Amino acid sequence: MEKFLNFMAVVPEMATDDYVGFTFFVGCMAMMAASAFFFLSLSSFDSKWRTSILVSGLITFIAAVHYWYMRDYWATNATSPTFFRYVDWVLTVPLMCVEFYLILKAAGATKQLMWKLIFLSVVMLVTGYLGEAVYNTGSGPALWGLASGIAYFVIVYEIWFGGAAKLAQSAGGAVESAHKTLCKFVLIGWAIYPIGYMAGTDGWYSGIFGGLEMDVIYNIGDAINKIGFGLVVYNLAVNSKK
């Protein structure tokens, strides 16, 4: 306890009017609470769904740890913690793709589908990072953002119309319903991130999104998508018990 209090004492204070830092703080607390909820609920389900619930907890736990560091980084430097952000995403977004495989596994989903979605998500994130943090001048952000967007739309096509969609349709019932809800999160919820990307980089779109705070948009998107993904899987596991 003494070590924890000493650690807390050196954490930079956050100004009361710092709404960007506030979203980092709230995001961290929300992710921690979600992690506790998912981990504590594991014993309520049989082995068929425990892995899915565990992955949901891991997604929010990893995010909570990174949000703690990002809040600290923001309070100290008042600049966007881009590196920590993308480290978080490169761990959690592929895990979100794994959730599609796990809920469709009983319907015949293969690991090929899982690795395909993981690969596309990594391409989406790496190209996004290059545009935001490396080649972030001139036409760089727009070109790398386009590459990231293409990978994103391939994921959307796969889960809405491709092999994943066909497996969900064959499974029917609660599985198909959960799959469709996760698809909506990817189509609508993940669409928040390109807005944040355009708000934080220069390009033809600067006049449209230049007045928005990139980190606030990202933080809201993370809370909606990561916690929402887990709750969809949790609801599927609950409905499967009935």
CA distances 175 to 101, 102, 122, Å, are 11, 11, 26
- The predicted pLDDT at position 192 comes to 93
User: Please, which residues have CB within 8 angstroms of residue 37's CB and are 6 or more apart in sequence?
Assistant: none
Domain 16-241, CATH class in plain words: mainly alpha
Give the residue from 104, 242, 128, 133 showing the smallest Cα distance to 195: 128
Distance CA 160, CA 163 (A): 9
User: Two tokens at 111?
Assistant: 């690991």
Distance CA 175, CA 141 (A): 38
Give the residue from 86, 25, 90, 64 showing the smallest Cα distance to 230: 64
Q: From first to last of the 242 residues of the chain, give the pLDDT tens digit.
A: 454 444 444 555 666 678 899 999 999 999 999 999 999 999 998 888 999 999 999 999 999 999 999 999 999 998 999 999 999 999 999 999 999 999 999 889 999 999 999 999 999 999 999 999 999 999 999 999 999 999 999 999 999 999 999 999 998 898 999 999 999 999 999 999 999 999 989 888 887 876 678 999 999 999 999 999 999 999 999 988 66
- What residue type is assigned to position 103 of the chain? I
Buried b (16+ CB within 10 A) or exposed e, 223-242: bebbbbbbebbbebbeebee
Domain boundaries, the chain: 16-241
pTM assigned to the model: 0.91
- The predicted pLDDT at position 8 comes to 45
- The predicted pLDDT at position 242 comes to 64
